[in-house]
Amino acid sequence: MKIRFSSGEEFLSEAPVSVYDAASAAGIMHRDVLAAEVNGVPTELSTVLSEDSEVKLLTFEDEEGKRIFRHTAAHIMAQAVKRLYPSTKQTIGPATDNGFFQDFDSEVPITNEIMRNIEAEMKKIVKENLRIERIVMSREEALEIFKKLDEPYKVERINEIPDGECISLYRQGEYIDLCAGPHLFSTGAVKAFALTQCTGAYYKGDQNNKMLQRVYGIAFPSKEQLNAYQEEQREALKRDHNKIGRELGYFTTVDEIGQGLPILMPKGARVIQLLQRFVEDEEQKRGYLLTKTPLIAKRDLYKISGHWDHYLDGMFVIGDPHDESKECFALRPMTCPFQYQVFLNKKRSYRELPMRLAETSTLFRNEDSGEMHGLIRVRQFTISEGHIILRPEQLAEEFKGCLDLARYMLRTIGLEENCTYRFSKWDPSRTDKYEGTPEQWEEAQNAMEKLLIENKVDYKVGIDEAAFYGPKLDIQIKNVFGKEDTLITLQIDMLLAKKFGMEYTDSDNTMKTPYIIHRTSMGCYERTLALLLEKYAGALPVWLAPTQVAVIPVVGEFAGYASKVTDALKAAGIRAELDDRNEKLGYRIREWQLDKVPYMLVVGADEQSAGTVTARARTEGDGGVFKLEDFISKITEEVKTKKH
RNA sequence: GCUGGUGUAGCACAGUCGGUAGUGCAGCUGAUUCGUAAUCAGCAGGUCAUGUGUUCAAGUCACAUCACCAGCUCCA
């Protein structure tokens, strides 16, 4: 038989041979090799080859190699926990994007102190360099083993494995676990690791189930890689909008006002105003009609839209929602049913479609208390909302228009490269959560899929991520903790128009029901601000900076000239601030640096006599000595082009 | 909502065995007028998140509530 390696080498063998031996014989085995892919399937180095095979050796540089490495680290953690706390029940322990975790059912919560103990025990297991063995057995044998070990979750899992599927166990030393694998050759390879946090997690991710103890960890083949990763994490956390946004005075929260209700301070409010003006102006150019609709409505409206049935828990209700004899209001969680009234105002012709309605819309959602996060997840927010009411044949063009607008916005604010696309579909097994029939969902989803392909959107599918009325294209972004949120959403809705009795007279004089696109152009402003602060570490581009220029006289003597310069900048529409405090120059400069202001103009005798300014720029190379009017032109140009 | 953690001045933190609260920076008032990371002096800031309890005595101990943080679940 012939074994071909992806690196080009070949090895011929009469007898069955392990991947490890074959690679050694071919002279390409080295210490960084963790596992292998045989004919495209990941497997361990001990796998015995008995027919012609294509083999790729995996190291930590390969995604699959990383995954296997981390998965083995998870097993080492589980082994350590079983050694220290034998009554703990094992559940699952996969690799994640950055590391791994293990879920345990433990009587006592796992604290930081316990975590340190587990780490110490893990070090021992690595040092013992235990050989990791794969064992395949029948369902009955496996059940017997785990019943004997008193591991009920493993027993449950074994019973869930479909007939005919291979049941494999992995053994390292005294520890044994049910696991599909693959794994490393031995525990010794996991040279550097750290347990990062301990927390609760519902069994099988269902909040009706028991809460288990989850321990997260990271693992690397070398100490250097571990240190580099930890340093990177520390740096990322310095960009946390929830930290710098408060420190720099963009927003704050107040106990008495409540959770998820941030106060936008002058700087935060300014940035949001700038974003909002930009969005509204751009939408006007693209044929949108601006509306302004009420923030509350009677329960009757939400009953028509379906929100009352599907979203009552998420709404702030004024009055008793269940007392039908009295009037009851609710703060709006979405704009849709309000904005539809614009269309419903009179009889509509096909000639009026598409009708593009936009609104800077404040929404209220009664999120569960543990959900709030800085400006990213709040209970009141303002969104660049909009609905396009259209004839079915206009869907492709209008959807493309929305996508173009969203991409233009993201590109302009500099977040496009940080985003990914998710095609959010319904879950056919959870019909209670969704309106409409499977046929209607099929139709809407097929339409969207076609549009995504046409528009070359590189997307991932998300099952059970749709809105209750239709599928979505969600534009996703990660925060500094790696948590993903939706920034922008485009939704196709073939259901709600009918519920609201929306119709138009078509060219053949028949009444037709329109389609609706629900869309945002820049998402909600609070969240966008948060992600901008994180992207730029607080140093927003000039066009968005709350203060664009600080004017600093060298000493008090030149405060007059500095004041004139400031006035000239302000007259040109530049957000300038005069800093004539009686403090040492270096001290004042340092304060503005900490404030991340894009430009400082230092003026003294030379500048005053020449009518110039000395600009010190936040970014290297943008500074220098300018004629005042030249500096104004420079800033005006940067604002106009929305330079990053 | 669930698991764990946190809450002392605007911010960063001390506060020992339970004995009535400190430091630095920021702020204010003076003085100082200095060319790119911190001028000097003085002053003022706190119902120790809130409430209830234990105690002769609570920042410190107990319970409850609120808020903040991470994760789970949910979601823009």
Point out the nucleotide closest to A249 (alpha carbon to C1′): B10
Query: 3-state DSSP helix/strand/coil percent for chain A, to nearest 5?
Result: 40, 25, 35
Q: Give the C-alpha separation, A292 to A266, whole Å.
A: 24
Cis peptide before A182 (omega within 30 of 0): yes
Distance from CA(A38) to C1'(B47), angstroms, rounded: 71
Closest residue to B38 by CA to C1' distance? A587
Rounded distance in angstroms from the CA atom of residue A409 to the C1' atom of nucleotide B73: 32
pLDDT of A9: 83
Q: How far is the CA of A21 from the C1' of B47 (A)?
A: 75
Give A493's strand partners.
A516
Distance in Å from B64's C1' to A83's CA comes to 38
Cα A442 to the center of its chain, rounded Å: 27
Cβ contacts of A256 within 8 Å, gap of 6 or more? none
pLDDT at A79 over 80: yes
Q: How high is the pLDDT of residue A419?
A: 96
Question: Can you tell me which residue has its alpha carbon closest to the C1' of nucleotide B32?
Answer: A582
Stated as kind and residue range, the H or E segment containing A233 is helix A223-237
Q: How far apart are CA A613 and CA A552, in angstroms?
A: 10
Closest residue (CA) to C1' of nucleotide B7 is A255
> Which nucleotide lies at the shortest CA–C1' distance from A526?
B76
Alpha carbons A293 and A275: distance in angstroms, whole number: 20
Percent of chain A with pLDDT over 90: 69
Mean pLDDT of A402-416: 97
Which of the nucleotides in strand B have any atom less than 7 Å away from a protein CB atom? 1-5, 7, 11, 31-39, 49, 66-76
Give me the CA A246–C1' B8 separation in Å, rounded.
Answer: 20
* Separation of A578 CA and B38 C1' (Å): 20
- Closest nucleotide (CA of A623 to C1')? B36
Is the separation of the CB atoms in A408 and A466 below 8 Å? no
| Across all strands, nucleotide nearest A600 (CA–C1') | B36
CA of A544 vs C1' of B54, distance in Å?
56
Length A636 CA → B19 C1' (Å): 65
What are the pLDDT digits (tens) for A312-346? 999 999 988 888 999 999 999 999 999 999 999 99
Nucleotide whose C1' lies closest to the alpha carbon of residue A486: B76
- Our measurement of CA A597 to C1' B32, in angstroms, reads 27
- CA A584 → C1' B31, Å? 14
CA distance linking residue A120 with residue A143, whole number of Å: 31
By C1' distance from the Cα of A603, the closest nucleotide is B35
Confidence bin at A412 (pLDDT 50/70/90): very high
Work out the angle at residue A520's Cα, subtended by the Cα atoms of residues A515 and A526, and round it to the nearest 5 degrees: 155
How many Å from the N-terminal Cα to the C-terminal Cα in chain A? 59
Q: How far apart are CA A213 and CA A104, in angstroms?
A: 5
User: What residue spans in chain A does CATH classification 3.40.50.800 cover?
Assistant: 549-640
**Residue burial A563-601, b: 16+ Cβ < 10 Å; e: rest:** ebbbebbeebebbbbbbbeeeeeeebbeebeebbbbbbb
pLDDT value at A620 more than 80:
no
What CATH number belongs to A67-229?
3.30.980.10
Give me the DSSP letters along A91-154. ----B-SSSEEEEEE-SSPP-HHHHHHHHHHHHHHHHHTPBEEEEEE-HHHHHHHHHHTT-HHH
Could you give the 3-state DSSP secondary structure of residue A28? coil
Q: What is the pLDDT of residue A8?
A: 83
CA at A577, C1' at B45: how many angstroms apart?
Answer: 28
Summarize pLDDT for A222-275 with one digit per residue, the tens. 999 999 998 888 888 889 999 999 999 999 998 889 999 999 999 999 999 999
With CA of A207 and C1' of each nucleotide, the nearest comes out as B73
Concatenating the DSSP letter of every residue in A190-206 gives --EEEEEEEEEEEGGG-
User: Residue A24 — pLDDT band, cuts 50, 70, 90?
Assistant: confident
Amino acid A562 CA to nucleotide B34 C1' distance, rounded Å = 17
Decide if the complex's ipTM is over 0.85.
yes
Phi and psi, residue A352, nearest 5°: -85, -5
State the span(s) of chain A assigned CATH 3.30.930.10: 251-295+332-535
- Taking the C1' atom of every nucleotide in all shown strands and the CA of A333, the nearest one is B76
**What DSSP designation does A5 have?**
E
The CATH number assigned to the domain with range A251-295+332-535 reads 3.30.930.10
Nucleotide nearest A375, CA–C1', reads B76
Question: pTM, whole model, 2 decimals?
Answer: 0.92
The maximal CA–CA distance of chain A, rounded, in angstroms, is 94
Nucleotide nearest to A433 (CA to C1'): B74
Percentage of chain A exceeding pLDDT 70: 100
d(CA A418, CA A168): 39
Token code pair at residue A594: 């900490």
CA at A111, C1' at B52: how many angstroms apart?
29
Q: Which nucleotide is nearest to A260 (CA to C1')?
A: B67
CATH number for region A2-59 = 3.10.20.30
Q: What is the nearest nucleotide to A593, using C1' and CA?
A: B37
Predicted local distance difference test score (pLDDT) of residue A310: 84
Cβ neighbours of residue A554 closer than 8 Å, sequence gap 6 or more:
A585, A602, A603, A604, A605
Q: Could you tell me which CATH class the domain A549-640 is placed in?
A: alpha beta
Tokens read off for A405: 């607008």
Query: Which residue in A335, A336, A319 sits closest to A327, CA to CA?
Result: A319
Residue corresponding to tokens 């990763």: A229
Task: Please tell me which residue lies nearest to nucleotide B35, judged from CA to C1'.
Answer: A554
Query: What stretch(es) of chain A map to CATH 3.10.20.30?
Result: 2-59
d(CA A112, C1' B74) / Å? 27
Backbone torsions φ then ψ of A46, nearest 5 degrees: -85, -5
Q: Give A562-588 pLDDT, tens digit per residue.
A: 999 999 999 999 999 999 888 888 889
- Using the structure, give the distance in angstroms from the CA atom of A199 to the C1' atom of B64, rounded to a whole number: 24
Q: What is the mean pLDDT of chain A?
A: 92
What ranges make up the beta strands (E) of A179-241? 192-202, 211-220
